[in-house]
Structure 1
């Protein structure tokens, strides 16, 4: 049995990791030219490339829950490949799908997918057990049990956090009754804000989780709930919108949406009409000169997270790009979290903006040795700050900074781990009226080394 399962995992299961959002989708080769997709994102580029390499058609698209951190690609797969959408009947989705309840089974053609009700992360959450006759090959656990943790239970409101944490306990207790050799294939993983506790591994086995998942070592349900809730940090604002968006289903796209080139005059007109400018160039390029009032979000894996955290999805967005940046990446990272009002990009970049006689703003980007004497504002997540920070640092998480801009001292140096979030923070503060903000080119460890200090652990009295 073990050899069969491992052979299946090696040959037929294709994990598709979104490093930026910290999630995994899965493509299962069913062996007959058809495939099962599980928790596919609206950005289907990697999944479709993997299917094309094996000449597969996606026949089934299963979603474990109404995701809070990305739009589902299931509706698009139904349109493109004729996939049958498999999802919880309790989710009340408004588009065509096969609604499943606890214990329902779907014949995949030799393999069987069994729905297991595992509420906790969300009310309607299902896990999907993949089995071959009497052999449990693996379980797609979505946001129930994830590697060495469990997904957060506060997405439906603080008043339901404990109730859902208790449901999460019961769901995980159910999952660990599966055979130890059963593979665990979660959706949420390292880097996902849906995870209650951060980790590095993305897949495991039931037996492995019995040995290493600290939540399974909790003495009882009360201890589990206390431990799980204590690990809950902040999460992006857009999470609150996507559950309903996935219940309705995203708009089907006929092609990759375009990002039109805009002249400087068009950009000014859009700004006057309420558009937002997002500068996706590297932090150093933004520091050297940018459109006043623009928001710096460097194009990298975490771009979608910060776009969805810091801007509404209702305003048109104009992008400032640098040479060679991938325009399709901008579009798909935006669309996968429901940001579709993309007005375009500034043609010719900042050179064209300046040539049109428009002003720019610069931001000091300081090495650790040149940042002394300024108040130090650390914009990392609370858990990062607690793990080690500069003495006397003020911690204001980036996601909370716009609302707390008045708490940031004028003339501060803002810092994160490397500089990208720090530059985003500086742009947020500049938009709020701060005029003498600098950014640390580096992180806390670099700063204390340059100034003969040591990192401080714990929250102290400086964490906001």
Structure 2
């Protein structure tokens, strides 16, 4: 058994496309790298091994989740390790390039690898002088590098050039060095599709198209061309992480709200988020509520589509995990959680309140309707219904009037499309149907083939 099998525990957040890591230091202590504020999986892994987290290292000021490093410092006395250039305002050990931390038998060496962010560090884990692996955060990732436009369009090229130099530096490590990135497939920090979460320096020299770029200009062009849209909440989390998220002294809970209290929350400028499956929302929902089915991507769409400044009430089924809603919201800084409708839609209707329904149709019942595809640009380009109108879900609210009358709204399976329909309903559109399925099902039902290329 090697070091990875014995001592390294990857903790993958499939919904956000990110990985945290727990390293068993062999003496009852552990190192955590890029832990999110939702520490449930990390704490469970540490408890199974009888470990106390002694160090919590962050590679950069994360934009896609709130860091759990400060919480680990509070809960377990962990020393927070982070870039001195990040100017964090809470107690931490600030590191610069080549600084080393003795972990007790192993050494962690900071490598300045700017590009994804200005103050980005990678952390090289050494056994003596032998590199075991490198935590690369948002620099070198599997077959790509993380996006460089998070600090504004005016700095995208500058940071892409810094990313080029960072990847070239990492490529000088021995080929056998393991690469443990934070961002992976599914991350809006710009990772390509794929199942691999970790790799090696040697494998990336062979497979990473950015490392294969013949020169810096080609690298920059390739990287910038790969950048798609990203959630609006990315623009505020870096600063919260710099100041340090609020330390929690207990797990937050969702209070039970009566129908009267939900109506009062709406009147006060709050929003109702319906976290039930798409089919349940379609069958009947609170008028004006936003459908975001509870799944791995819940946090992404909650943060993209709703502000963190308004109170939220949730509609759920009895069998849904309320703690999952809470932690997905808290890890992106949505803390104004008013509660959940006690008794669900049955209680809402019993109180004499109205409900709205949404047509949820199979592909064979969608013929004759204009087709609106709300997937991301890269998904659309990989295969779509010919003649489809493409409007990404994240931009739909601003262009709701552009959706054709009587359209069927579609994504890959139906969840994002139901979210889109709920946004359109909020904008006064009541003529929309949602496709239960995606472009492949539609093409099969109508005897056609999918088109490829940009919209």
What is the TM-score normalised by the length of structure 2? 0.99
Q: Specify the alignment match of 1:32 in structure 2.
A: 27
> In the alignment, is residue 419 of structure 1 matched against residue 400 of structure 2?
no
Alpha-carbon distance between aligned partners in 2 of 1:261 and 1:224, rounded to the nearest angstrom: 53
> In the alignment, is residue 234 of structure 1 matched against residue 199 of structure 2?
no
Q: Work out whether residues 196 and 228 of structure 1, in 8 Å CA contact, stay in contact via their aligned partners in 2.
A: no
String of CA shifts for 1:263-321, please: whole Å, max 9, x gaps: 00010011111110000000000000000000000000000000010000000000000
Q: Specify the alignment match of 1:365 in structure 2.
A: 360
SS in 1 for 2:397: coil
Q: Specify the alignment match of 2:289 in structure 1.
A: 294
Q: CA deviation at 1:194?
A: 0.3
> In the alignment, is residue 207 of structure 1 matched against residue 188 of structure 2?
no
Q: CA deviation at 1:411?
A: 1.1
Structure 2 regions of 5+ residues with no counterpart?
A: none
Structure 1 regions of 5+ residues with no counterpart?
A: 1-5
Alpha-carbon distance between aligned partners in 2 of 1:194 and 1:292, rounded to the nearest angstrom: 34
Q: Specify the alignment match of 2:239 in structure 1.
A: 244
Aligned equivalent of 2:260, options 261, 265, 287: 265
Alpha-carbon distance between aligned partners in 1 of 2:143 and 2:321, rounded to the nearest angstrom: 35
Structural mapping, 1:392-431, within 5 Å: 392-431=387-426
Alpha-carbon distance between aligned partners in 2 of 1:409 and 1:360, rounded to the nearest angstrom: 25
Q: Specify the alignment match of 2:218 in structure 1.
A: 223
Moved over 6 A (4+): none
Q: CA deviation at 1:391?
A: 1.2
Alpha-carbon distance between aligned partners in 2 of 1:176 and 1:284, rounded to the nearest angstrom: 48
SS in 2 for 1:216: coil
Q: Work out whether residues 148 and 199 of structure 1, in 8 Å CA contact, stay in contact via their aligned partners in 2.
A: no
Aligned equivalent of 1:90, options 68, 85, 92: 85
Q: Specify the alignment match of 1:139 in structure 2.
A: 134
> In the alignment, is residue 60 of structure 1 matched against residue 46 of structure 2?
no
Q: Work out whether residues 37 and 58 of structure 1, in 8 Å CA contact, stay in contact via their aligned partners in 2.
A: yes
Alpha-carbon distance between aligned partners in 2 of 1:152 and 1:345, rounded to the nearest angstrom: 36
Q: Specify the alignment match of 1:438 in structure 2.
A: 433
Alpha-carbon distance between aligned partners in 2 of 1:375 and 1:256, rounded to the nearest angstrom: 46
String of CA shifts for 1:350-390, please: whole Å, max 9, x gaps: 00000000000000000000001111000000111111111
Aligned equivalent of 1:384, options 358, 379, 383: 379
Q: CA deviation at 1:107?
A: 0.3
String of CA shifts for 1:412-434, please: whole Å, max 9, x gaps: 10000000000000001000110
> In the alignment, is residue 164 of structure 1 matched against residue 151 of structure 2?
no
What is the TM-score normalised by the length of structure 1? 0.97
Alpha-carbon distance between aligned partners in 2 of 1:201 and 1:322, rounded to the nearest angstrom: 34
Alpha-carbon distance between aligned partners in 2 of 1:254 and 1:157, rounded to the nearest angstrom: 35
Q: Specify the alignment match of 1:154 in structure 2.
A: 149
> In the alignment, is residue 335 of structure 1 matched against residue 368 of structure 2?
no
Q: Work out whether residues 400 and 427 of structure 2, in 8 Å CA contact, stay in contact via their aligned partners in 1.
A: yes
What is the RMSD computed on CA atoms of the aligned residues?
A: 0.7
Alpha-carbon distance between aligned partners in 1 of 2:90 and 2:319, rounded to the nearest angstrom: 39
Q: CA deviation at 1:195?
A: 1.8
Q: Specify the alignment match of 2:74 in structure 1.
A: 79
The size of the alignment, in residue pairs, is 455
> In the alignment, is residue 174 of structure 1 matched against residue 169 of structure 2?
yes
Q: Specify the alignment match of 1:99 in structure 2.
A: 94
Aligned equivalent of 1:346, options 326, 341, 347: 341
Alpha-carbon distance between aligned partners in 2 of 1:131 and 1:314, rounded to the nearest angstrom: 44
SS in 2 for 1:166: helix
String of CA shifts for 1:56-114, please: whole Å, max 9, x gaps: 00000000000010000000000000000000000000000000000000000010000
Alpha-carbon distance between aligned partners in 1 of 2:46 and 2:108, rounded to the nearest angstrom: 20
Q: Specify the alignment match of 2:37 in structure 1.
A: 42
